[in-house]
Amino acid sequence: MSWETLFSLQGHGPYILGAYGVTILLMGWEALSLWRRARRARRQRDESGSLAGRTRP
């Protein structure tokens, strides 16, 4: 399939690309936001762990 065919798709290009594009965008956004949240939580755990280690006698 050439790029021209991919974007024209018998005149249905906007429909097909709109469907696939939004699907990939939303799924990617969900995965990325979860990954960022996990990274933030891990960093907070590491920081609280090192603080506890520092205050321990």
Binding site for other proteins (CB under 8 A): 1, 6, 9-10, 12, 15-16, 18-20, 22-23, 26-27, 30-31, 34-35, 37-38, 41-42, 45
Which position has the token pair 């021209």?
Answer: 4
Q: Cβ 47 to other proteins, closest distance in Å?
A: 13
Burial of 13 (0-12, 13-18, 19+ CB in 10 A): middle
Least distance from C-beta 57 to other proteins, angstroms?
Answer: 20
CB neighbours of 7 closer than 8 A, spacing ≥ 6? 13, 17
Which is closer to other proteins, CB of 18 or CB of 47? 18
